Structure 1
Amino acid sequence: MTAIRLEPVSHRVTHVLWGQVSVSGEQAEVVPHASPVIGVVDALARGDTVVTVFRVE
């Protein structure tokens, strides 16, 4: 994921900007696009690996 959109009042994540990268992580295979956060939830439920671009604690 490269960016998120928050709902202004609750600050819940509503959308993510994400795409598919190569196994090495060096190049995009699918250009990043905005998607409702449920897309990430569905990917995780399928067993896909989802990572952030920015380092988080």
Structure 2
Amino acid sequence: MLLGLGGYPFYKFLRGEFDAQTTISLIKTNVIILIIILAVFGLFFYLFSKPARPPNRPD
């Protein structure tokens, strides 16, 4: 995942050959990965916590 989305800027960052453009690209990639992880986690949490609650049925 890291190599596919932001491997080259991350590699340059690790070697210390980074400039402003590479840093911005790295931050953007990390933010995108973080948003995807949070969205997936939120979806699973929503789906799996919903049946645990009693349904609100008007009688």
TM-score, length of structure 2 as denominator length: 0.25
Larger-gyration structure (1/2): 2
Question: Which structure features the higher share of strand residues?
Answer: 1
